[in-house]
Amino acid sequence: MMKSILPTRGLALVAMVCSAVLVVSSAAASEVKVGKNDQGHFVLLRDGAPYFIRGAGGSSHLALLKEHGGNSIRTWGIETLELPVEGKRVIDRCAELGITVAAGIYVGHERHGFDYSDPAQINRQREAVRAAVRKYKDHPALLVWGLGNEMEGPTSDGRDPRIWKELNELAAIVKAEDPHHPVMTVIAGAAPTKVQGILAHYPNIDILGVNAYSGGGGAAAAVKAAGWRKPFVLSEFGPSGHWEVPKTPWGAPIEPASRDKAAAYYSTQKTMTEEAADISLGSYCFVWGQKQETTSTWYGMFLKTGEKLPQVDAMCRAWTDQWPKNRCPRVSRFASELKEAVFAPGQLSTVRAEATDPDGDELKWEWTVTAESTDLKVGGDQESEPPSFPDAIVLAEKNQVVIRTPAKPGNYRVFAIVRDGKGGASAENLCFRIEAKPLPPQ
């Protein structure tokens, strides 16, 4: 499938000359660099033309990304580029759609066992980075290299210089192999100590990526306040993170409502664009796909069954100032006495929801009771799905469900999913707890 990709930049001219007969002329490798516009603002220049990233993290639903106004994806590991999507390898499908790729190259995390004091591990990593760059540097979809993601650790203060120094070495390797694509490194949050660590030990970096959730709109201002003067990308943003929200008395994080999530995506994208025009090259919303992280719906912009959620419509609106052709249902109410309450086993309780569809589509509801997830990790590491309890659903009638509380004491969630039958959906959930002897109401 890569046969149409020309191996060297010099051959691009040949491709241009032959464009009349070769439909793959667009397959010539791009040259991407960082420049400044006439206002003195940093801009990404792709083959000489300004390029603002309207991106999403993930590698699925690529046609839908294009349709909704996105122009770039971000991946985390180089192997993702080979995955099949919509009938092609990810990177080829991107090229076909005119979507660019911030190609992530995994850089070792100490919490996963990588030892930055071990020369053998360091050498192996350097060679892996070199091989990744050699393999994809001439691909036309390549936009920037994403050298590492949160490798300093999400809870780290960034004061340990070893990782920054090694990233500087890795970036030198990338640049030696491919001088035509900038190097971006992504950190978790905009802590001043991390920014200062990079400033002190990692001069080869071209673009600082920051993953930030409730503070996403202000992340560029935060890195500037810490002394950052190079380009910036908001490399992950989305709803408030599960570490940032109120919790139930038993410690379960309360997932934001679907409308609040959509508003958060829109608000962050707009605020970042308006407030950080001087250093921002764009952003990648998280995550263009589905993943289990705390819940099955917290960060995913799609359901596991493939329907898009209102966050996707919000990004379309933010990117294009237009709504997409088909919009997701809008939930206006999701209420129950179960909400954040403690119940005894075997009690009956009703949950009600209300939703409308902006396009007037007929809505269908799906109700699920699951255990609260106990397989909780940090930094987005893979988590397993908790079990569900179909027997807890006594009566489901469209937007209303009667639940018999589970027999086993523990923490649970009720999920409501409403679908429009045309690829759009909304998802809500509430937390409840079962105790053999429930606490008296407060």
Partner 1 sequence: MKYTFALIVALFTTLSALAQQLDFGDRTSATITSKAWGALNAKNYPDAAAYAQECVKMYEKQAVEMQKQLKEPVPNTDKEAVSKLWALNDVGTCLFIMGQALEKLEKKPEALAAYKKLVETLPFAQCWDPQGWFWKPADGAKGRVKALEFDSLK
Residue 241 within binding range of partner 1, rule CB under 8 A = no
Cα–Cα distance, 145 to 101 (Å, whole number):
8
Number of residues that bind partner 1 (CB under 8 A): 18
CA 335 to chain centre: 29
Nearest to 213 by CA among 298, 107, 291, 108: 298
| Partner residues linked to 336 by β-bridges | 351
- Here's the x/- map for partner 1, 349-388, by CB under 8 A: it reads as ---------x------------------------------
The window from 137-145, 267-275, 333-341, 367-375 that contacts partner 1 (CB under 8 A) reads 267-275
Q: Which of residues 284-323 bind partner 1 (CB under 8 A)?
A: 314, 317
CB-CB contact of 219 with 234 (8 Å): yes
The window from 123-131, 266-274, 374-382, 422-430 that contacts partner 1 (CB under 8 A) reads 266-274
Which bin fits 379, alpha (ψ -120 to 50), beta or left (φ > 0)?
left
Q: Which is nearer to partner 1, 315 or 414 (CB)?
A: 315
Q: Which is nearer to partner 1, 173 or 219 (CB)?
A: 219
CB of 218 to partner 1, least distance (A): 5
Q: Which is nearer to partner 1, 232 or 266 (CB)?
A: 266
Residue 275 within binding range of partner 1, rule CB under 8 A = yes
Residue 263 within binding range of partner 1, rule CB under 8 A = yes
Using CB under 8 A, which of 234, 262, 338, 351 touches partner 1?
262
The window from 20-28, 255-263, 342-350, 363-371 that contacts partner 1 (CB under 8 A) reads 255-263
Residue 267 within binding range of partner 1, rule CB under 8 A = yes
Locate 149 and state its tokens: 């993601």
Cα–Cα distance, 424 to 326 (Å, whole number):
7
The window from 88-96, 171-179, 262-270, 367-375 that contacts partner 1 (CB under 8 A) reads 262-270
Q: Which is nearer to partner 1, 213 or 389 (CB)?
A: 213
CB-CB contact of 168 with 123 (8 Å): no
Using CB under 8 A, which of 225, 376, 395, 407 touches partner 1?
225
Please enumerate in sequence order all residues whose Cβ is within 8 A of that of 288, keeping only pairs 6 or more positions apart, or say none: 56, 57, 58, 59, 60, 61, 65, 70, 73, 301, 302
Cα–Cα distance, 144 to 119 (Å, whole number):
27
Residue 271 within binding range of partner 1, rule CB under 8 A = yes
Cα–Cα distance, 362 to 333 (Å, whole number):
17
β-pairing, 393-397 vs 400-404, is: antiparallel
The window from 110-118, 260-268, 379-387, 413-421 that contacts partner 1 (CB under 8 A) reads 260-268
Using CB under 8 A, which of 158, 189, 217, 238 touches partner 1?
217
Cα–Cα distance, 116 to 107 (Å, whole number):
11
Residue 30 within binding range of partner 1, rule CB under 8 A = no
Q: What is the enclosing helix (H) or strand (E) of 92?
A: helix 90-97
Residue 122 within binding range of partner 1, rule CB under 8 A = no
Cα–Cα distance, 187 to 88 (Å, whole number):
31
Residue 268 within binding range of partner 1, rule CB under 8 A = yes
| Site for partner 1, rule CB under 8 A | 217-218, 221, 225, 259-260, 262-264, 266-268, 270-271, 275, 314, 317, 358
